[in-house]
């Protein structure tokens, strides 16, 4: 950034600045922790001479320990795209309207989590179910380390509850799949051969009423060699939907290559696979008892409603610590 020609290319300069932000997100807290530890040392020495300072010492120690825990968690982000924005897609699985309603509940859960943690959200694509809920939805979560945190959510989520759609009030099991990919736009240049792309347009039918129903503003890109597809329908402008769909496709292709490099051959979530029993990463049970349990880390809580209101940090942190421990063993 100190180079004389840095600002000659404004677009490239902004990309570099964007890459600097998550780095400062590690360096600045580290520098602050070093200074606080030095201040603590001085306070300890003063406390040895004056017992009345013990309360202040305990408060400062608690504050530093909390910040150290947060820094320790962030330092686990070692992936090249962990600092990026994230595309998060939710797809209803087996279970009909029940599953579509469950997908809507998950969308609300992640929206609440993002808002609580200061992230911005942009709806990229949403396909509503006729009766209730959504068949699928893709949101872009904008902010530092959005992908680093949300990568823990990729997989099938299972809900057990008394169905609000069952007149006999019977217990139902529903499934929905979550897929998370990093937004690589501006950080990695992925070139796709024009011959490998299939582009389709369709009537959006979403927010926007008559305008979207009469024009084919929705755009779907399919990568022919892999069959991976991405679509956007929420914008009035076909040009904007085109850009969103292409960015999402590149993010998906990057993630596939990333998984190959890590030798994770079997996909945790496959759009062509079965989103059903036996493949879930997390269970949400509301009847006959209340329990949310992550089958990968065995992290659990009985506070189902709080989890569905977006309090999922406990599960995210457990996944990241487990992932870091496994990588350390390698």
The answer to whether residue 1 is domain-embedded is no
Query: What distance in Å separates the CA atoms of residue 161 and residue 202, rounded to the nearest whole number?
Result: 36
What percent of the chain is modeled with pLDDT above 70?
A: 87
DSSP code per residue over 69-103: HHHHHHTT--STTTTS-EEEEEEE-SSTHHHHHHH
Which residues does residue 221 pair with via DSSP β-bridges, in sequence order?
A: 199, 230
**Number of structural domains in the chain:** 3
Per-residue model confidence as pLDDT tens digits over 254-280? 877 776 655 443 444 444 345 555 578
* 118 lies in the same domain as 235: no
For 138, the 3-state DSSP assignment is strand
C-beta of residue 29 within 8 angstroms of C-beta of residue 67? yes
Contacts of 303 (CB under 8 A, 6+ apart): 290, 292, 311
* 158 lies in the same domain as 291: yes
Which residues does residue 158 pair with via DSSP β-bridges, in sequence order?
A: 175, 283
- Direct distance between the N- and C-terminal alpha carbons of the chain, in angstroms, rounded to an integer: 36
* 174 lies in the same domain as 43: no
* 95 lies in the same domain as 116: yes
Helices 54-74 and 313-329 sit at what angle, rounded to 10 degrees?
70
> What sign for the dihedral angle of Cα 126, 93, 307, 80?
negative
Per-residue model confidence as pLDDT tens digits over 23-44? 777 788 899 999 999 999 999 9
Q: What is the enclosing helix (H) or strand (E) of 18?
A: helix 10-49
Query: What distance in Å separates the CA atoms of residue 180 and residue 269, rounded to the nearest whole number?
Result: 10
* 95 lies in the same domain as 135: yes
The answer to whether residue 318 is domain-embedded is yes
**In the numeric block, which tokens belong to residue 104?**
């809507």
**In the numeric block, which tokens belong to residue 79?**
């992936």
The answer to whether residue 81 is domain-embedded is no
* 213 lies in the same domain as 290: no
**In the numeric block, which tokens belong to residue 115?**
């808002």
What pLDDT score does 215 carry? 67
pLDDT bucket at 294, cuts 50 / 70 / 90? very high
pLDDT bucket at 210, cuts 50 / 70 / 90? very low
Supply the Cα-derived Rg of the chain in whole angstroms.
Answer: 23
* 175 lies in the same domain as 93: yes
Q: Which of 139-148, 217-226, 312-321 has the lowest mean pLDDT?
A: 217-226
Domain extent, residue 153, equals 86-185+270-329
Query: What distance in Å separates the CA atoms of residue 183 and residue 115, rounded to the nearest whole number?
Result: 19
Which residues does residue 177 pair with via DSSP β-bridges, in sequence order?
A: 91, 156
The answer to whether residue 15 is domain-embedded is yes
CATH, residue 153: 3.30.70.1660
The answer to whether residue 80 is domain-embedded is no
Distances in Å between the Cα of 317 and the Cα atoms of 18, 30, 313 are 25, 19, 6
* 108 lies in the same domain as 181: yes
Q: Is the pLDDT score of 323 beyond 90? A: no
**In the numeric block, which tokens belong to residue 325?**
């421990």
* 59 lies in the same domain as 125: no
- Helix, strand, coil fractions of the chain, as percent rounded to 5: 45, 20, 30
Query: What distance in Å separates the CA atoms of residue 242 and residue 234, rounded to the nearest whole number?
Result: 11
125 burial type by CB count under 10 A (0-12 exposed, 13-18 middle, 19+ buried): buried
What pLDDT score does 264 carry? 47
* 27 lies in the same domain as 166: no
7-21, 100-114, 232-246, 312-326 — which one is most confidently predicted on average?
100-114
* 207 lies in the same domain as 61: no
C-beta of residue 183 within 8 angstroms of C-beta of residue 140? yes
Which is more confident, 320 or 264?
320
Per-residue model confidence as pLDDT tens digits over 30-85? 999 999 999 999 999 898 888 888 888 899 999 899 888 888 877 788 777 888 89
DSSP code of residue 312: -
């Amino acid at each position: 950034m100190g180079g004389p020609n840095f600002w000659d290319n404004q677009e490239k300069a902004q990309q570099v600045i964007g890459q600097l932000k998550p780095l400062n997100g590690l360096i600045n807290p580290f520098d602050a922790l070093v200074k606080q530890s030095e201040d603590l040392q001085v306070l300890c020495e003063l406390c040895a001479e004056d017992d009345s300072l013990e309360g202040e010492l305990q408060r400062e120690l608690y504050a530093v320990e909390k910040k150290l825990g947060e820094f320790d968690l962030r330092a686990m982000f070692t992936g090249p795209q962990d600092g990026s924005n994230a595309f998060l897609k939710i797809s209803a699985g087996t279970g009909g309207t029940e599953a579509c309603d469950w997908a809507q509940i998950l969308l609300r859960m992640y929206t609440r989590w993002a808002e609580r943690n200061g992230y911005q959200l942009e709806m990229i694509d949403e396909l509503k179910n006729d009766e209730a809920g959504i068949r699928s939805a893709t949101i872009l979560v904008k902010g530092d380390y959005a992908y680093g945190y949300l990568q823990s959510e990729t997989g099938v989520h299972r809900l057990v509850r008394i169905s609000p759609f069952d007149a006999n009030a019977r217990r139902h099991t529903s499934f929905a799949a979550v897929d998370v990919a990093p937004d690589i736009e501006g950080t990695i240049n992925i070139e796709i051969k024009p011959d490998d792309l299939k582009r389709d347009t369709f009537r959006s039918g979403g927010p926007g009423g008559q305008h979207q129903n009469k024009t084919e503003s929705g755009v779907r890109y399919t990568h022919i060699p892999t069959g991976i597809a991405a679509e956007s329908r929420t914008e009035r402008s076909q040009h904007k939907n085109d850009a969103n769909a292409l960015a999402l496709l590149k993010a998906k292709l990057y993630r596939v290559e990333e998984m190959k490099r890590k030798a994770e051959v079997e996909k945790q979530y496959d759009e062509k696979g079965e989103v059903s029993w036996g493949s879930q990463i997390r269970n949400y049970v509301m009847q006959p008892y209340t329990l949310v349990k992550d089958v990968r880390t065995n992290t659990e809580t009985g506070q189902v409603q709080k989890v569905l209101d977006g309090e999922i940090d406990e599960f995210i942190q457990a996944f990241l610590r487990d992932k870091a421990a496994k990588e350390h063993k390698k």
